[in-house]
């Protein structure tokens, strides 16, 4: 299962994703790292988790279907729901007994210049769930409860020694700790933010040096 953590800015969103992909048939990781977050529009990014090539195909179908259109977020989400639901059903033709979830995450700045992270998942029939407001966090992984606990602990430790939150440091340290017990998660990782412009860094190793573009205020 893809591991993704996210953080809402007032006017955008930050995502960090691991790069390991598990084959739906063999259940073994692919050799090469996989970029799981890409640009969807000028101010919105899209991430996929679960079902490997089916998630990637759904993402490419969505990008193609909205090309040249100036859609509101509500319409983007509707299109995503239809396409990801279709690909999820298609996956059972190849592996009828699989129990892998398919998730799509949209994040960035909406038409009101407000930050958001929206997830749609096969676990809840692709009903959208939103994170909004500065400091709202998103977590998805094999063991989400442990991921949340780890990211909150790292955030707390960073708060003790820094006046500003360095999201790249938060993400790297969180995923570094998660990798110890979760073999489905691995470095390098991807760090990407979407506001008025999109900043995308990949591949990122454990010794990555902080950049100011990923700096923000700590949550209240």
What would the pLDDT profile of 149-205 be if each residue is shown by its tens digit?
999 999 999 999 999 999 999 999 999 999 998 888 889 999 999 999 999 999 999
The candidate with the shortest Cα–Cα distance to 3, out of 178, 158, 208, 180, is 178
Rounded Cα–Cα distance for residues 43 and 216 (Å): 18
Per residue in 130-160, pLDDT (tens digit) is 999 999 999 999 899 999 999 999 999 999 9
CATH code, 75? 3.60.20.10
Look up residue 110 and give its two tokens. Answer: 């909406």
| Overall number of domains in the chain | 1
The answer to whether 104 and 85 are in contact (CB under 8 A) is no
List pLDDT tens digits, range 31-73: 678 888 999 999 999 999 888 789 999 999 999 999 999 999 9
Predicted structure pTM score: 0.93
Q: At residue 142, what are phi and psi to the nearest 5 degrees? A: -60, -45
Q: Is residue 69 part of a domain?
A: yes
Asked if 74 contacts 112 with a C-beta cutoff of 8 angstroms, the reply is no
Is 109 among the domain residues? Answer: yes
SS3 call for 79: helix
* Strands 12-18 and 165-166, sheet pairing: unpaired
Tell me if 164 is assigned to some domain: no
Range of the domain at 135: 4-141+184-206
Is residue 44 one of the residues assigned to a domain?
yes
Instruction: Specify if 174 maps to a domain.
Output: no
In a domain, 136, yes or no: yes
Work out the pLDDT band at 22, boundaries 50, 70, 90: low
149 lies in some domain: no
Is residue 201 situated within a structural domain? yes
> Phi and psi dihedrals of 205, rounded to 5?
-95, 175
């Amino acid at each position: 299962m893809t591991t993704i953590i996210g953080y809402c800015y007032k006017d955008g969103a930050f995502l960090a994703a691991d790069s390991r992909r598990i084959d739906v048939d063999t259940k073994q990781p692919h050799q090469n790292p996989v970029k799981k977050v890409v640009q969807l529009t000028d101010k919105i990014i899209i991430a996929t988790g679960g079902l490997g090539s089916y998630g990637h195909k759904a993402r490419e179908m969505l990008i193609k279907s909205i090309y040249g259109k100036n859609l509101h977020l509500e319409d983007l989400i509707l299109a995503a729901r239809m396409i990801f639901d279709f690909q999820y059903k298609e996956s059972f033709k190849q592996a009828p007994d699989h129990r892998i979830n398919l998730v799509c995450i949209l994040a960035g700045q909406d038409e009101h210049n407000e930050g958001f992270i929206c997830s749609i998942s096969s676990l809840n029939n692709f009903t959208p769930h939103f994170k909004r407001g500065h400091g709202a966090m998103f977590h998805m992984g094999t063991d989400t409860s442990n991921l949340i606990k780890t990211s909150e602990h790292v955030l707390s430790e960073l708060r003790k020694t820094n006046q500003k939150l360095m999201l790249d440091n938060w993400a790297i340290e969180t995923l570094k700790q998660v990798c110890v017990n979760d073999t489905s998660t691995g470095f390098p990782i991807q760090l990407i933010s979407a506001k008025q412009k999109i900043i995308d860094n990949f591949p990122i190793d454990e010794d990555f040096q902080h950049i100011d573009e990923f700096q923000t205020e700590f949550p209240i």
